[in-house]
Amino acid sequence: MKKLHFTFLVVSILFISGCQLDFWESSGRIPKLDRTDTLSGVDANNDGVRDDIEKWIKKRWEKEPLKQKALLQYAKAAQKSVMVDLNNQEEIEKIDELDTRAQNCLWSRFTSNDLHSENHPINIGKEIDAYTTNTKERLTHYLAYNEKLDGTTSRLPEGDTCDE
Amino acid sequence: MNKIIFISFLVWTLAIGSLQAQNNATNICNTDEKKVAFLFFNGVWNTKKDARNLMNLLKQRYGNKSSQGDTIVYEVMYNTTKGKYSVQDIAETFAQKLKEKGLSIRYEIYYLLRVPYAYDMLKNIPWIKEYTGSRKS
């Protein structure tokens, strides 16, 4: 009972002081994010996914390997979009194509119809976007990348677009 | 904002959808196969991914074949908002808020506010309440 009161007290203090994100972070609900001042952040194993995000995906979805793979593909494409050379339109459009495929893969493996569920592809995708664009430089770069897509079209792909 | 996006989506979908129906939707495909196309002109305060997500919702609802057996294709025509109220301006306002609150390291909040369960947790923080309230007005 005392433990319950203590937990309640801690949660309340965190809530009142506006530290919900710290609480989520320490509980593992959201990743402990890389906040280095580079666009790329740390990707020690060079697989194209930032290590903090990769670690979180692998742990959180460890029992669902297909979803895990879809999220890694999505995170990889998102990571490319915050690192792309904004003067290279061809590269920007290539990354948009990768994004389209990764997004389609996500929709094929996260099939919830509940728009409030973390199993809904829109929500889990936005979570990954949030973590990928977690500094001013990364967010600004990502929005600029979107500006560069102005006037482009893309068709939702048919069939399986998952890499793995 | 969602209302604006929805209305923009609806207007364009209906307009283009009916045009395509009149033409049997063959002119954009260069094939003999009949196709129905949902063309979504979007980009008002959102990213291209957001636009594709909305198209995917539509695809989830209508599938790949029409009731007449025609193939349905879904295309996003992305046009960003320019000028005073662009996405980048909104992000800049948000950055200013974060700075005022001493939370400049937490830019992930920008997209987390668009995730319903995260928003439910964050919405009662006074400055977020104020920020999201001002966005709606």
Output the pTM of the full model.
Answer: 0.80
Asked if B134 reaches chain A (Cβ–Cβ under 8 Å), the answer is: no
3-state SS class at B65? strand
Average of per-residue pLDDT values in chain A: 89
What mean pLDDT is predicted for residues B20-47?
65
Q: In what order do the strands lie in the sheet with B71-78?
A: A153-155, B71-78, B35-42
| Nearby residues of A97 by Cβ (< 8 Å), 6 or more positions away | A154
The model's pLDDT over B48-94, given as tens digits with 9 standing for 90+, comes to: 999 999 999 999 999 988 888 899 999 999 988 776 667 777 777 78
A21-67: pLDDT as tens digits: 777 788 888 889 999 999 999 999 999 999 999 999 999 999 999 99
* Strand, helix or coil for residue B92: helix
The proportion of chain B whose per-residue pLDDT surpasses 70, expressed as a percent, equals: 67
φ/ψ of A154, rounded to 5, equals: -150, 145
Side-chain-side CA neighbours of A5 within 13 Å: the count stands at: 2
A65: closest CA of chain B, how far (Å): 23
Q: Which residues of B are less than 8 Å from A30 in CB distance?
A: 108
Ranges of beta strands (E only) in chain B are 35-42, 71-78
pLDDT bin (cut points 50, 70, 90) of residue A9 is: very low
